[in-house]
Amino acid sequence: MPPGAESGIGFIMTTLTNTVRVLEQLIGFDTVSRHSNLDLIDWLQAQLEPLGARCTRIPNSEGNKANLWARFGPDRPGGLVLSGHTDVVPVDGQDWATDPFALTHIGSRFYGRGTSDMKGFIALCLAFAPRFAELDLTHPVHFAFSYDEEVGCQGAPAMIERIVNAGAQPAAVWVGEPTLWKVVSAHKGIRLYEVIVTGREAHSSLSHLGVSAIGQAIELLSDLRSLETKLAASSLRDPAMTPPYPTISVGTLEGGTAVNILARRCRFQFDLRCPANVDPDELLKPFTEKVAEVDAALTARFPECGVAMRCLTDVPALFTSRDNPAEALARQLTGDNALRAVPYTTEAGQFLAGGIPAVVCGPGSIDQAHTANEYVDQEQLALGVEVFEKLVAHLS
């Protein structure tokens, strides 16, 4: 055994234990996106401020959720942002063998909602916060903990704007989504759309007196399905992605009152995921034209009828750049030099759109995200301790 190896292993185990303790606290907060995250934000702030971190909350308009922006070191341009979202997806209807909001250690795995996506990374940030506080930093280290990432990356934009407008533009942002510590330098963007069709109620035996909103929605959904099929066979591709083409997915559909009443209202939502080299407006143009056509036809029959379509979320893609300091740092610390792109979307695209180079890399597997019995392996957390220790040395 090389000199100092035993003490090094002991240090990693001690830090790993601290990381698990923090993770246990984080999992104990039920921060499903439909709930407030303020209890967790209170706890995070209470851990960081005694270390000297300058903490700023950026609340949502209702005041029941908040981002937390914390920083160590001087308020000056440059520096690194460590970014993670505090919200998690629901557990409703999933068959969990353990309490999803209590960290459970079985074998080499730690089970709980958010262990991989993505409280494991936040736990590492908190476990190393005392180390960052002790450093004589020439450039700041930022923590950017957001709300409502899981429902369309709603929280991050206001925090990014606050960081950029503070006059201390960071040089790089590291988004710790689960990648098994593999460096992800590109991902698709996502748009979420809502379509509401308003019809006219009538007895189903007198269909000529009304308009079924469901019937009209089916026509639109048929067009959307046709467009989805065409995209799969089109030349609009990024071979680094899997699947390489843009995708459309209808996620919700609701409408109608009773089987013998023409539906007055039908609502559906869909997402569109595009690589960076695809213009989503141009791609969706045939469908938006169809929506306008159906809307005009319905309004001509009955003024109260029509179709309304709106974009709920627009998260830009993350694209590969030759001169990306965030990616260069992640590769230096992890030793991963493979070029990798993923089909899902993260807040990294929003940071990049805000002018801050970004990379995605973190503990756990995306295969565990959103599943029943979600877990992060102890090895992933231990590897995270090693990566963060290298980060401390780099900042020193």
Coil, helix or strand at residue 13? helix
Distances (CA, A) of 395 to 136, 173, 181, 355: 9, 14, 20, 22
* From 24, 30, 39, 87, active-site residue: 87
Residue pair 175/346 in contact (Cβ under 8 Å)? The answer is: yes
Residue whose token pair is 């090693």: 386
Task: Kindly name the residue from 117, 149, 150, 177 that is annotated as catalytic.
Answer: 149
Helix (H) or strand (E) holding 329: helix 325-334
Active site residue 293: no
Residues whose CB falls within 8 Å of the CB of residue 164, separated by 6 or more in sequence, listed in order: 354, 355, 356
Exposure pattern of 218-254 as b/e (b: 16+ CB <10 Å)?
A: eebbebbeebbeebeeeebbbebbeeebbbbeeeeee
Is 377 tagged catalytic? no
Residue 82: which of 49, 128, 38, 113 has the closest Cα?
Answer: 128
Q: In which element (H, E) is residue 382 found? A: helix 378-395
What is the signed CA dihedral for 128, 131, 137, 141, rounded to 10 degrees?
Answer: 10
Which of 330, 371, 313 is CA-nearest to residue 149?
313
Q: Annotated catalytic sites, by residue?
A: 87, 149
